């Protein structure tokens, strides 16, 4: 039976690239989405056409009951969850004094809470099996901090702390937990930036360009592979040197 990867935020961007990369590596794919049903179903149809066992699951990662139902549905459908890519997230640019209480809560509920709820839902299964790999997705801003993105930076920094703590907690159960901190990646999250902004960000990156979702997915695939079996609790910057 093929190993199964569960990917939150799989309908687009980094999550979609992860789904395609893991499918190409022979995994069955549980593609989780919240609002982009059409995109998720189109992704699944494409994966199935290429011979991958794939299914789309609707889930709001900010709601623990929704995550629990999704996990139950995934395990009922595939019978196993070998890898969890906790990728779902949102972004917003705003001065700290202008961030509303609701915006702060939503940011932390999705970006940090979503990782926590997803890990909590699948860990009992992984612990019983004595194996598994979790890859969380933070951001270069979770490492460095970013002006006008205090709530996003704080939520993504918390993902790093959660990753390191969880790696220590579940290592004895044969489970690895690592984090990817992408830099500026060509996804919908950059849609609010002007062309000039993107050029400046590329120029600020030592490699002189913007990253691709496929490059982040390749890092996730490596961290979930046997080749990374003795790597846990680490933060891998996929940022072209931007985080240096």
- What CATH number should be reported for the domain holding residue 92? 3.40.50.720
Matching residue, tokens 């489970």: 175
Residue of 15, 135, 120 lying closest to 70 (CA atoms): 120
The Cα-based distances of 11 to 7, 30, 149 in angstroms read 9, 11, 24
The predicted model scores a pTM of: 0.96
Within 10 Å of residue 224's Cβ, how many Cβ atoms? 27
Q: What is the pLDDT of residue 192?
A: 67
Backbone phi and psi for residue 63, each to the nearest 5 degrees, phi listed first:
-115, 110
Residue 242 maps to a domain? no
Burial 87-96 (b: 16+ CB within 10 A, else e): bbbbbeeeee
Residue of 54, 26, 22, 53 lying closest to 40 (CA atoms): 54
Residue 40 maps to a domain? yes
27 catalytically annotated: no
Residue of 121, 144, 147 lying closest to 132 (CA atoms): 121
pLDDT digits (tens, 9 = 90+) for 147-170: 999 999 999 999 999 999 999 999
In the chain, % of residues over pLDDT 90: 92
Residue 104 maps to a domain? yes
Catalytic residue among 27, 33, 117, 152: 152
What total of structural domains would you count in the chain? 1
Evaluate whether 132 touches 178 at the Cβ level (below 8 Å). Answer: no
Could you tell me the residue range of the domain that residue 206 belongs to? 4-235
Q: What is the pLDDT of residue 219?
A: 98
Residue 241 maps to a domain? no
Evaluate whether 140 touches 181 at the Cβ level (below 8 Å). Answer: yes
Residue 42 maps to a domain? yes
What does 71-136 look like in DSSP terms, one character per residue?
Answer: HHHHHHHHS---EEEE-------B-GGG--HHHHHHHHIIIIIHHHHHHHHHHHHHHHHT-EEEEE
Low-confidence residues in the chain, pLDDT < 50: none
Residue 46 maps to a domain? yes
Q: What is the pLDDT of residue 211?
A: 96
Residue 66 maps to a domain? yes
pLDDT digits (tens, 9 = 90+) for 37-73: 999 999 999 999 999 999 999 999 999 999 999 999 9
Residue 85 maps to a domain? yes
């Amino acid at each position: 039976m093929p190993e199964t990867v569960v990917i939150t935020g799989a309908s687009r961007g980094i999550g979609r690239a992860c789904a395609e990369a893991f499918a190409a590596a022979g995994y069955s794919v549980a593609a989780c989405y919240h609002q982009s049903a059409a995109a998720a179903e189109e992704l699944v149809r494409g994966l199935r056409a290429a011979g991958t066992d794939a299914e789309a699951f609707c889930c709001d990662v900010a709601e623990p009951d929704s995550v629990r139902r999704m996990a139950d549905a995934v395990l009922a459908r595939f019978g196993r969850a070998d890898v969890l890519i906790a990728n779902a997230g949102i972004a917003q640019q705003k001065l700290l004094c202008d961030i509303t209480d609701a915006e702060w809560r939503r940011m932390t509920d999705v970006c940090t809470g979503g990782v926590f709820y997803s890990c909590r839902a699948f860990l009992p299964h992984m612990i019983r099996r004595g194996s598994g790999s979790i890859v969380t997705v933070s951001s270069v801003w979770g490492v460095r901090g970013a002006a006008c993105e205090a709530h996003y930076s704080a939520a993504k920094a918390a993902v790093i702390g959660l990753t390191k703590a969880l790696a220590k907690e579940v290592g004895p159960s044969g489970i690895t937990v690592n984090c990817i901190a992408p830099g500026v990646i060509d996804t919908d999250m950059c849609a609010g930036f002007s062309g000039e902004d993107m050029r400046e960000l590329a120029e600020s990156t030592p490699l002189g360009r913007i990253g691709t979702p496929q490059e982040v997915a390749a890092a996730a695939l490596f961290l979930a592979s046997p080749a990374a079996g003795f790597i846990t609790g680490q933060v891998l910057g996929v940022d072209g040197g931007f985080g240096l």
